[in-house]
Structure 1
Amino acid sequence: VIAREQRLIAYYTGVPHTLETLRTALLTHLPEFMVPALYIHLEALPLSPNGKLDRKALPEPDAVEARVYEAPQGETETLLADIWQELLGVEQVGRHDNFFELGGHSLLAVTLTSRLREQGLEADVRALFDHPTLAGYAAITDRMEIVL
């Protein structure tokens, strides 16, 4: 795990796992702020001539698998995308983008829920950790609004 661009990035080998699987496993043992935001699977870790990890040879996050953009659908997803863009300082947020992969963390999650409440939506920080994609969190937020 290394810090790049104000977020923790985990590089791992072995069996590829989904982000949710890795995050859930790490959250059982680590506080949230120590859990990486991005996970990059490699066939092998790059080594220097003396056999140590060559950190400079690790791929940049942008050079690794780019997710296909799918535009937000519906009012809640569009509102969430606008807020995420502002909070995370990114140009575009798609339905399958992950809040934490984009640089989100627990303090921004609290700010996000506050902004959603200002817009009249019920929001829960824990739900964001359980459903970190835009579409997933929007669906949960919509359900919470209906229950009230």
Structure 2
Amino acid sequence: MLHGSGASASLHAFYEGEGVCAEQAERCLRSVLPAWAVPASFVSLTHWPLTANAKIDRKALAAQIRQTPTDARMLDNPYQQALAEIWHRVLGAMPANAKESFFSAGGNSLLGIRLVAQICKHFSIRLTLKNFFADATLSGLSASVERHLADKNSMKEGLL
């Protein structure tokens, strides 16, 4: 199910039945689909919610989508905390943890471009989309930001 609209839309998978493992389904999809096409979440249902007309109740499904806030104590450093705030401004939701992929959190390539632009502006660095796509997690982005800041500082010291 596509949840939201425009650039903030995200894909979510719903399933019913015993013996279905969301983690296994996600691994399988990740092996054959690009990251942006993998659902942001997999939601197990005991039964499909229906409207009075016996159609699937999409509003009831949307209410099942998780919105897990990030606990700032789970973040390793101030860079991750700043990146989590930027992530929230772009996606409208905080990442669940430092290892959650931007794409599994509901992001897409257009929102990724917006995220990179805001990161560059906030930290005054030149982060590339290649850096972003290499590891689109808070921990990966934090490492990229730290590398860029270290390079920037070493260049300044070399000029002085």
* Shorter-chain TM-score range: 0.5 to 0.7
> Counterparts of 1:20 and 1:128 in 2: how far apart (Å)?
21
Contact preservation (8 Å) 1:12, 1:41: yes
> Counterparts of 2:64 and 2:137 in 1: how far apart (Å)?
18
Task: Give the aligned partner of residue 17 of structure 1.
Answer: 23
Q: Structure 1 residues 59, 86: CA separation in 2 closer, same or farther (over 3 Å shift)?
A: closer
Alpha-carbon RMSD: 3.8
Task: Give the aligned partner of residue 113 of structure 1.
Answer: 116
Contact preservation (8 Å) 1:81, 1:134: yes
Offset at residue 18 of structure 1 (A): 6.7
Task: Give the aligned partner of residue 137 of structure 1.
Answer: 141
> Counterparts of 1:18 and 1:130 in 2: how far apart (Å)?
23
| CA offsets 1:30-88 (integer angstroms, 9 cap, x no match) | xx4xx14413053777497xxx98454647443x5847634433232122122112222
Offset at residue 105 of structure 1 (A): 1.8
Paired residues in the alignment total 137
Q: Whose radius of gyration is greater, 1 or 2?
A: 2
Task: Give the aligned partner of residue 76 of structure 1.
Answer: 79
In structure 2, runs of 5+ residues without a counterpart are 153-160
> Counterparts of 2:25 and 2:107 in 1: how far apart (Å)?
14
Question: What TM-score comes out, normalization by structure 2 length?
Answer: 0.58
Contact preservation (8 Å) 1:122, 1:145: no
> Counterparts of 1:146 and 1:98 in 2: how far apart (Å)?
24
Q: Structure 1 residues 140, 95: CA separation in 2 closer, same or farther (over 3 Å shift)?
A: farther
State how 1:58-97 maps to structure 2 within 5 Å.
Answer: 58=61, 60-62=63-65, 64=66, 66=68, 69-71=71-73, 72-90=75-93, 92-93=94-95, 95-96=97-98, 97=100
Look up the equivalent residue of 2:129 and give its one-letter code. V
> Counterparts of 2:82 and 2:30 in 1: how far apart (Å)?
26
> Counterparts of 2:76 and 2:137 in 1: how far apart (Å)?
13
Q: Structure 1 residues 103, 15: CA separation in 2 closer, same or farther (over 3 Å shift)?
A: closer
1 or 2, which has the higher helix percentage?
Answer: 2
- Where relative contact order (Cα < 8 A, 6+ residues apart) is larger, the structure is 2
Identity in percent: 21
